[in-house]
Structure 1
Amino acid sequence: MTSSHWLIIFTLAVAALSIRVIGLFAGSKVRASKHTWVLEELPGLIVVSLIATSLSGQSAQMWMAAAVALGVAITTNHVIATMCLGVVAFGSLSLIMG
Structure 2
Amino acid sequence: MSASHFGLIALLSLLAFSVRLAGLFAGRAIGESRLAFLLDELPGLIIVALVAASMATEPGIYWIAGGIALLTAWKTRNIIATMGAGMTAHAAITFMGA
Distance 1:94 1:60 in 2: 11
Residue 21 of structure 1: aligned partner: 21
Alpha-carbon shift at residue 12 of structure 1 (Å): 0.8
- For 1:18, the aligned partner's letter is S
Query: Could you say which residue in structure 2 is the equivalent of 1:61?
Result: 61
Structure 1 runs, 4 residues or longer, greater than 2 Å off:
none
Give 1:11-90 correspondences, 5 Å limit: 11-90=11-90
Q: Which residue of 2 aligns with 1:2?
A: 2
Q: Deviations over 1:40-95 (max 9, x none)?
A: 11111110000001111111111100000000000000011101110010010111
| TM-score with structure 2 setting the length | 0.95
**TM-score with structure 1 length normalisation?**
0.95
Cα RMSD between the aligned structures? 0.9
Runs of 5+ consecutive residues of structure 2 not aligned to the other structure: none
Q: How many residues align?
A: 98
Identity over the aligned pairs, expressed in percent?
Answer: 38
Aligned-partner SS, 2:58: coil
